[in-house]
Structure 1
């Protein structure tokens, strides 16, 4: 079996619970240490998992930590990633890779110079939902892909998050928050993006926290909260992406892929599974496709497991893919401000299709 792969977590907010549920199940990963700005939260997590509660610097120096799992708020992603790289650690981070393209590029450049690796969420697109849709497109089920739509609407995270400030500060907003799921899924299915055009707006200048100890507190909104982008893929397909904190709900499919001989309904890329449906020319109704690819019963951390234990040279949730998606998002936002079509310079290969893999395999 070999030596267990040691994980250290920085940041123990809401998303950490999902990762912890996955990590504690894996026999070849060991949670060595956790760190958080709230020492009590770190101590409680350590007690529940058997890990050590350490300061960030101490954890990054720990000899048994092979990979740092960076679950801090987006504004801290680059700082923590660069610190981990500086200690010779591989680093796998929550989305987005960073909040600026310059920071994202700095992370990958530093990792290359240090001889370490970078991985980046989302890994939800490695589940049976996105991967089955990709397999269908790759097999020619809809003919040549022509276009896609990706749509996400919600009234805002202040409705459920007790500390939603960072969603409305620079580096936040609906595109950087939710866009990674949708754009990564589009890149998985249709390939990399070569240009982006965007437009954006802001419904109101302040939001009111609706839950938790700060209920009723107003917070400022300093970023646009409704963003639409048009993406040109290298394949020639065009995608329209709309991410919004200014709506309530939509009945549209989260993602639709349209080709010359059929259309696909793709499930929510923030989830690992869901129905993939096909409507071909001459059909009278949608057909549900059985899962044909992806991690079965996937959960947060599947990408981290592959990053730590899989092909070291070609992780499925790579930093290169994370950087490409970040550049696409920043291009949309730059275009919204400038009114210009923005060229996307980064080049990335689609990761290999994930074979249909039962949980007994990817969790072992």
Structure 2
């Protein structure tokens, strides 16, 4: 594995908006060192390199040809994820890719086979679900703090990314939309809690056939909407649990990050899966003596968050440490493939207005320990 001193060499391909969040953290983790940034717009890569003290920058080849880089972070647009990840593997490097793993089952499956044949690892976002928020809640559920998990409810609704993103068209293209863009956070959280998804049902609609950029140099420019902008979803899990989810970029009312898991002995509220931590509470059942119209009083228990709060990049860091220890990492390509398979099945269910079986499954789902510390040198 490529190293500089005691740190593993990391490169980044894609210097767009999301790169700031990765660079803010990866440049602080002592187990890795960002050595190069590449982008189709070399000047954009150089600007990010200068901002974060990265020694080399330019086109994509600056990253692929660097022998000191062992792992490359793929931050390109969804439609390019697989092609770029395959190029990284051909260069002899491991891959951490932003979500989704790909935009079709065929290309994502091919990517996993390519990595396996080359002896290289694939890790995939979101790693927000590896943060102290979701992982603490996962441990609480596994302990039986809410009894047997029965069902989940998640909500993501707002006006859409065109109100802040300077070039949002790709977020309404095939492979994105509220489902493929935000669904990975919620589906990944639910799979961590309930296990693999067995079947899905969904209804979808399109609020408008075109959207208009509202900020930046492209403000006023219209672009087409290629995907459903609102979906109502049902999930049926192999282990018997169920969940219902709403994904929408058509709502003036903002309601994001809502994740609730109800069990036989309580309902646990999980922090926004697009963040790494936050308050966790368990609401207990009503007292047996409650008689309407008496005031409703329920016991609400705070769950102490366990672990060190960091940010994007902890999934890559876990993968780097796992390679060194010769053990599986948590955010595997297989996990990302099951999430993608589930999301594409939801698209198909919405198109066909019926239940769709999810073909893929998972043998095991990893977890981070409560003592995982990104800022410790290991």
Q: TM-score, normalised by structure 1?
A: 0.94
* Match among 321, 326, 332 for residue 346 of structure 2: 332
Aligned pair in 2 of structure 1 residues 5, 194: CA closer, same or farther (>3 Å)?
same
Residue 303 (structure 1) aligned with residue 306 (structure 2): no
Name the SS for the 1:204 alignment partner: coil
Structure 1 residues 321-330 or 311-320, which shifts more?
311-320
Cα distance in 2 for partners of 1:20, 1:361 equals 14
Question: Unmatched 5+ residue regions in structure 1?
Answer: none
Contact in 2 for aligned 1:70/1:77 (Cα 8 Å):
yes
Q: Report Cα offsets for 1:326-361 as digits up to 9, x if no partner.
A: 000000001111223221122214433322236465
Q: Quote the residue 2:328 is aligned against.
A: 314
Aligned pair in 2 of structure 1 residues 358, 82: CA closer, same or farther (>3 Å)?
closer
Contact in 1 for aligned 2:82/2:102 (Cα 8 Å):
yes
Aligned pair in 2 of structure 1 residues 358, 304: CA closer, same or farther (>3 Å)?
closer
CA apart distance, 1:315: 0.8
Cα distance in 2 for partners of 1:180, 1:228 equals 15
Contact in 2 for aligned 1:25/1:363 (Cα 8 Å):
no
Name the SS for the 1:45 alignment partner: helix
Cα distance in 2 for partners of 1:165, 1:360 equals 34
Q: Quote the residue 1:105 is aligned against.
A: 109
Q: Quote the residue 2:291 is aligned against.
A: none
Structure 1 residues 266-275 or 47-56, which shifts more?
47-56
Aligned pair in 2 of structure 1 residues 112, 159: CA closer, same or farther (>3 Å)?
same
Question: Unmatched 5+ residue regions in structure 2?
Answer: 288-297
Contact in 1 for aligned 2:285/2:299 (Cα 8 Å):
no
Map 1:50-199 to 2 at 5 A: 50-199=54-203
Name the SS for the 1:26 alignment partner: coil
Cα distance in 1 for partners of 2:55, 2:256 equals 43
CA apart distance, 1:244: 0.8
Aligned pair in 2 of structure 1 residues 50, 353: CA closer, same or farther (>3 Å)?
closer
Cα distance in 1 for partners of 2:364, 2:233 equals 21
How many residue pairs were aligned?
362
Q: TM-score, normalised by structure 2?
A: 0.91
Cα distance in 2 for partners of 1:251, 1:19 equals 26
Contact in 2 for aligned 1:191/1:349 (Cα 8 Å):
no
Q: Quote the residue 1:234 is aligned against.
A: 238
Q: Report Cα offsets for 1:21-51 as digits up to 9, x if no partner.
A: 1111122312121111211111122233232
Name the SS for the 1:254 alignment partner: strand
Residue 39 (structure 1) aligned with residue 74 (structure 2): no
CA apart distance, 1:252: 7.8
Structure 1 residues 67-76 or 48-57, which shifts more?
48-57
Map 1:209-248 to 2 at 5 A: 209-248=213-252
